[in-house]
Amino acid sequence: MIRFHKEGYKIIIIALFISISGILLAENLIDLPWLVKAIQILILAFLIIILQFFRNPKRIAPLNDAVLVAPVDGKVVVIEEVEEPEYFKEKKLQVSIFMSPINVHVTRYAMSGVVKYSKYHPGKYLVAWHPKASTENERTTIVLENKTFGEVLYRQIAGALAKRIVNYAKEGSSVIQGEDAGFIKFGSRVDLYLPIGTKLNVSLGDKVKGGTQIIAEK
């Protein structure tokens, strides 16, 4: 059975209403059968896109403090050592995962631990792969801590189409690896900042599966 994320319930209901109305109006107001079918096919395609975007498949995380799982579905587009300017203010290993509109857009906790920091930043809507997207786009920054990895930062970044970031992480709360951490609507990316020397299990260009696939380990 297909599950949908709660952030999409309102949009799905609206899309369903619009789709049914559009199909009925085309049937009753247009006399050309081929045009009616074409319009109805386009409406159904629109509804399918909305439904697949908000799907929320059940994932089972390894629940292992010595590994990190991918926080989202998508493609690894950045692996490099960089200066993290907001929280650590020192060099970290950055791993960025880009989500296309057809990916599952649920954000999941990469590890179990305590939320040490959670902050929202308004900003621009540059394309998600732009070099300045990490510091200039709308984004949220979250830092998790556990005894094995220490502090790990992840950043939800809005893209050119993403107009809303949902973040459930609250400072001081305990979270569980693989659980729902938020949602990014309509395309974007997530950056991870890991301790230098962290062993990665992914390479540039790899496609990853959020909540289950191990991308790094101690």
CB 98 within 8 A of CB 75: yes
Q: Which two tokens stand for residue 14?
A: 């609206």
Count the Cβ atoms, other than its own, within 10 Å of residue 99. Answer: 24
CB 95 within 8 A of CB 200: yes
Cβ partners under 8 Å of residue 58, min gap 6: 3
Angle, nearest 10°, between helix axes 9-29 and 33-53?
180
Cβ partners under 8 Å of residue 141, min gap 6: 86, 87, 117, 118, 119, 121, 153, 154, 155
Point out the catalytic residue in the list 112, 174, 188, 203. 188
Q: Please, where are the H alpha helices in 30-119?
A: 33-53
Q: Which two tokens stand for residue 179?
A: 């659980």
> Is 188 annotated as catalytic?
yes
Order across the sheet with 67-69: list the strands.
67-69, 214-217, 199-200
Would you name the residues annotated as active-site residues? Answer: 188
